[in-house]
Amino acid sequence: MSQPEQFGPPLLTFPEADKSPLSIRAKALVFVDPRSRQLREDMERLASRALPVLIRGETGTGKELLARHIHRASDRGGLFVSVNCGAISPAYADAELFGHTAGAYSGSVSSRAGWFGSANGGTLYLDEIGDLPLPIQSKLLAALENHEVTRVGAQQPSPVDVRLVAATSIDLAQAVAAGKFNERLFHYLSEGQLQLPALRERPGDILSLAEYFVGIYSVRLNLPVALISESAQQVLERHAWPGNTRELENVIHFALLVSSGEEILPEHLNLPPLVEPLAEIERNIQALLSEGSGSSLQGLKALLEQTALRLAQPNG
Produce one character per residue of 172-196: b if its CB has 16 or more CB atoms within 10 Å, e if not. beebbeeeebbeebbebbeebebeb
Whether residue 235 is found in the same domain as residue 214: yes
pTM score, whole prediction: 0.78
pLDDT of residue 68: 92
**Which of 176, 197, 218 marks a domain boundary?**
197
* Helix or strand (DSSP H, E) at 175: helix 172-177
- Strands 53-56 vs 193-195: parallel, antiparallel or unpaired: parallel
Whether residue 191 is found in the same domain as residue 213: no
Whether residue 290 is found in the same domain as residue 262: no
Amino acid at 175: A
Regarding predicted confidence, which is higher, 151 or 173? Answer: 173
Whether residue 172 is found in the same domain as residue 192: yes
Identify the CATH number of the domain in which residue 244 sits. 1.10.8.60
**Which of 197, 232, 249 marks a domain boundary?**
197
Whether residue 51 is found in the same domain as residue 134: yes
Whether residue 227 is found in the same domain as residue 159: no
Residue 110's Cα: distance from chain center in Å? 36
Identify the CATH number of the domain in which residue 190 sits. 3.40.50.300
Per-residue pLDDT tens digits for 243-270: 999 999 999 999 999 998 789 999 999 9
- How many independent structural domains does the chain possess? 3
In sequence order, the 6+-apart residues with CB closer than 8 A to the CB of 189 are 52, 53, 54, 129, 164, 166, 172
> Whole-angstrom Cα distance, residue 60 to residue 205?
15
Q: Give residue 286's domain range.
A: 277-312
Per-residue pLDDT tens digits for 60-100: 999 999 999 999 999 899 999 999 998 888 888 888 888 77
**Which of 148, 175, 197 marks a domain boundary?**
197
What does the DSSP 8-state code read for residue 163? Answer: E
Q: Are 101 and 154 in contact (CB under 8 A)?
A: yes
Whether residue 127 is found in the same domain as residue 251: no
pLDDT of residue 310: 60
Q: What value does the mean pLDDT take over residues 188-217?
A: 93
- Residue 124, pLDDT > 80, answer yes
Whether residue 135 is found in the same domain as residue 235: no
- Strands 227-228 vs 263-264: parallel, antiparallel or unpaired: parallel
